[in-house]
Structure 1
């Protein structure tokens, strides 16, 4: 690699933009391809100091490292697009997928890049975009992870999940089961509390006797009205991973089912709660549906 490697960020949404800014602050050149991207992404490119190559092919030909930041649903298709670009160039950048994929999906993407002699690192971001770079943690795994760690340790907080490619995916999913399982527990509790007409009373008691738990829920619970579909997909992916390894998966499966019931109830529709209490107040709507 060159002394100052060129980093491609695909693509600068909220998370990608914050990662790009942190890299630029450490004197990395960051590039991306604007072709076909949304107006919001174009605005992010212009305001963050990212160099726009306009076309994906040009981006891949210039990059020393490619950071994929799309979504778990779009990560395989993104990898296929990159493979098509690589067939038209001799450049072989390090490819880092930070999309929090399932272990099976991460392995499938690795197979694509191994076939064209491109080093692959599997990864996930622990934390929100606003927490980059000081508080969020980038978890990485695979035999080439040290290329990523050595290059970016001065910029980000990084967790080395080991040599097994799927490890970063498992790490993210298992960690997320703790806070998502906690939210599912509270959602199921409040469903029953609303049924019996004691939601406010029970909520007050939970705050009084479990203040630490309530504090833990502050960051996560209010995000569910906007992101519950993604949470369902994550927990289903976790359940599938555990089942495939013949491991217990009752809580993961139940968490996904609880979130699905809440989604289907419609109580979070068009809601943007400011905190935990406000989020849980939505469960009162269930008692009105009897």
Structure 2
């Protein structure tokens, strides 16, 4: 860690100077899924040049590239060679693989872009990715996105941490809402996971309640009472609950990662672990398969299938 701080301190100023001298910094988005596409569109609207590597990507991703104004350099190697900044926007499971692929490309070019990971990684994974870039002299910013892709750029928040976070904020604060999580690299990851424990824990509470209500044949009655007497809670669930049929596997992984983080730090982790277990049970039940609910009540109606 001492060597890492020494590297960042010696390279931070020179990087910022070289970046500021560029009239049109090139931003690479890896990759333009739903979130990456919305971030890319916001950057393009603010006159940033945005590139990506379309080679080997899905049909949907290629459509996103064509329809959003992103420049497709085709190969990852070409993208890495042209980029001033690389934004990693994939899944937590894929974030290390993307970082490793970028490092491999960096061995074949003298270009040294800054690498910004905006995935919902655990603090341990964020630290591992930062250390991966140390031998190839790549500055690193850790981050996460708070909110859905449709909320970019006006309502979602980009949380960033690390020594170079102030640079990121100064360059992109005119485009996005940004939260400074502090100098410790892992802080943005911990921030996102801990925030997630609140809203995902609330969903797990409702899912467990509806499982029992369905068992006793009182799901509709209890649901109506909860909606009547907890209107604020229902309002909070509107944005998140209907997304679970499509994204419950990701929610399971996120809560398991949170539980591991808390356990490693010798902190209480029973709620995080229990939330993951509740989501696993719901996922394995199959009640959300081929479902696309439009609201909280419609989502919870699926528990009648149990």
Q: TM-score range by the shorter chain?
A: over 0.9
Partner SS, residue 297 of structure 2: helix
Corresponding residue of 2:294? 274
Corresponding residue of 1:73? 93
Corresponding residue of 1:105? 125
Unaligned runs of 5+ in 1: none
Partner SS, residue 138 of structure 1: strand
1:10 is aligned, of 27, 30, 41, to 30
Instruction: List structure 1 runs of 4+ shifted beyond 6 angstroms.
Output: none
Partner SS, residue 80 of structure 1: helix
Give the TM-score normalised by structure 1. 0.97
Question: Is 1:83 matched up with 2:139?
Answer: no
Instruction: Give the Å deviation of 1:150.
Output: 1.1
Instruction: Give the Å deviation of 1:3.
Output: 2.6
Q: Deviations over 1:95-137 (max 9, x none)?
A: 0001111111000000011121100001100111111111110
| Count of residues paired in the alignment | 286
Q: Deviations over 1:4-60 (max 9, x none)?
A: 211011111111111111111111111111111111111111111111111111111
In the aligned structure 2, how far is the partner of 1:45 from the partner of 1:266? 33
Partner SS, residue 158 of structure 2: strand
Give the TM-score normalised by structure 2. 0.92
2:188 is aligned, of 147, 168, 183, to 168
Instruction: Give the Å deviation of 1:269.
Output: 1.3
1:154 is aligned, of 174, 182, 185, to 174
Normalized per residue, the structure richer in helix is 2
In the aligned structure 2, how far is the partner of 1:129 from the partner of 1:180? 18
In the aligned structure 2, how far is the partner of 1:281 from the partner of 1:141? 40
1:200 is aligned, of 211, 216, 220, to 220
Partner SS, residue 60 of structure 1: helix
In the aligned structure 1, how far is the partner of 2:291 from the partner of 2:60? 23
In the aligned structure 2, how far is the partner of 1:40 from the partner of 1:270? 19
RMSD after superposition? 0.8
Partner SS, residue 214 of structure 1: helix
Unaligned runs of 5+ in 2: 1-18
